[in-house]
Amino acid sequence: MIITRAPLRISLGGGGTDLPSYYREHGGFVISAAIDKYVYITLHETFTQELLVKYSQMELVERVDQVKHPIVREALKLVDVGSQPYLEIVSMSDIPAGTGLGSSGSFTVALLRALHAWKRRLIGRQDLAEQACHIEIDVLREPVGKQDQYIASFGGITCFNFLPDDRVEVAPLELAGETLANLEDNLLLFFTGFTRSASAILEEQDTRTRQQDADMIGQLHVVKQLGCESKAALGSGDLRRFAELMHVHWEHKKARSRSMTNSRIDDFYELARRNGALGGKLIGAGGGGFLMFYTEDKTRLRHALRGAGLREVRMRFDFQGTTVVAQS
């Protein structure tokens, strides 16, 4: 039996510039942070010839090409487990899909890590992330970026430069110990109560970018610049400036799509701003999921948002990335 896990993530700057439709023309930059909420994959070799896949549904098939879950099917093909493997694959997650924390990328990375371990292969973190990107972007043609797969593989608080030739430069963000502690303590996550598929919102961005829509490209240019400024603010320990930049980012993010927010999310955001949030934004593609805020008055903000019915999810940063939890 093999058990792997890959962390979910929050974006700290530059989100949206990691899509190929943008970075292949202009280059992208994202700061992402892995958190201590995970997607788990359990892989077990069965006694009889069958392929059993359990996620929100259950599939029992004989051959790889009969698997309906697209990521599972393509991962099995990529790692070349054979056409009729004796395998049981089970996935679990601390946070459900559709909440903006990059669960699809984490799922793909954890699954590939488990399959490589089963085949007794060593694979580097960069190669693992690229294989996950290849499945989601090149094979399945999903309108997603590369941030989720890379941060799930590497972990930490990490800067990613997405180059026009598809190479990705990876560098941990250097933070003073006090800055790291304050950032971790003062970032709060609240579930809006809405889940959504990121594909529709990202597809709109992807299509408009490919069509050279000047407004969309201009918005992404600003988001990338804000990401660079956020890196500088974090590096210098100016967390109030970082919070201000989060708010500016959110204003530009809303302008990218009318599906990005709704009246209830806007009300929650304004309530938070009136109760100690120095900055914030909706995590992920938008439309639902988690609101993230930076505050120096955690008690006041928690009281206000819990009173409005929002559920807080406490989190810490993860610095391990994807790991094999158990193997026997």
pLDDT in tens, 302-325: 999 999 999 999 999 999 999 999
Q: Give CA separation, 116 vs 4, 69, 162, 278, in Å.
A: 11, 19, 26, 44
pLDDT at 285: 66
pLDDT at residue number 322? 98
| Helix residue spans in the chain (DSSP H) | 20-26, 70-79, 103-118, 125-133, 147-154, 177-186, 198-210, 214-236, 239-256, 263-274, 298-307
Beta bridge partners, 53, equal 59, 89
Q: What is the predicted pLDDT for the residue at 199?
A: 67
| Domains, in order of start, for the chain | 2-174+318-327 (3.30.230.10), 177-313 (3.30.70.890)
Give the CA distances from residue 248 to residues 6, 65, 161, 227, 305, in Å, rounded to whole numbers and listed in that order: 30, 46, 21, 11, 21
Measured in degrees and rounded to the nearest 5, phi and psi for residue 30 equal -140, 140
Report residue 144 CA to chain centroid gap.
10
Contact 18, 44 (CB under 8 A): no
CA separation for the pair 322, 319 (Å, rounded): 9
Q: Which residues is 33 bridged to in the sheet?
A: 10, 157
What confidence score (pLDDT) does residue 277 get? 97
For residue 96, what pLDDT is reported? 86
pLDDT at res. 205 = 82
Q: Which residues of 301-324 are buried (b: 16+ CB within 10 A; e: fewer)?
A: bbebbeeeebeeeebebbeebbbe
| Neighbour-count burial for 186-201, b at 16+ CB within 10 Å, e otherwise | bbbbbbbebebebeeb
Residue 328: what residue type?
A: S
Alpha carbon of 28 to those of 56, 97, 200, 228, 255: distances in Å?
Answer: 34, 25, 21, 10, 19
Rounded Cα distance, 80 and 270, in Å = 51
pLDDT recorded at residue 206: 84
Structure tokens at 116: 């490589």
Which residue ranges of the chain lie beneath pLDDT 50?
none
- Amino acid 49: pLDDT: 82
Q: Which spans in 16-122 are helix H?
A: 20-26, 70-79, 103-118
SS3 at position 78: helix
CB 46: neighbour CB atoms within 10 A? 12
> DSSP alpha helices (H): ranges in 173-262?
177-186, 198-210, 214-236, 239-256
Burial group, residue 294, by CB count within 10 angstroms (0-12, 13-18, 19+): buried
- Compute the distance between CA of residue 257 and CA of residue 48 in angstroms, rounded to an integer: 50
Q: Would the CA dihedral through 199, 202, 207, 208 be positive or negative?
A: positive
Task: Identify the helix (H) or strand (E) that includes residue 32.
Answer: strand 28-45
Please name the amino acid found at residue 250.
W
Q: How far is CA 13 from CA 99, 140, 164, in A?
A: 18, 27, 19
pTM (2 decimals)? Answer: 0.94
Q: What is the pLDDT of residue 55?
A: 94
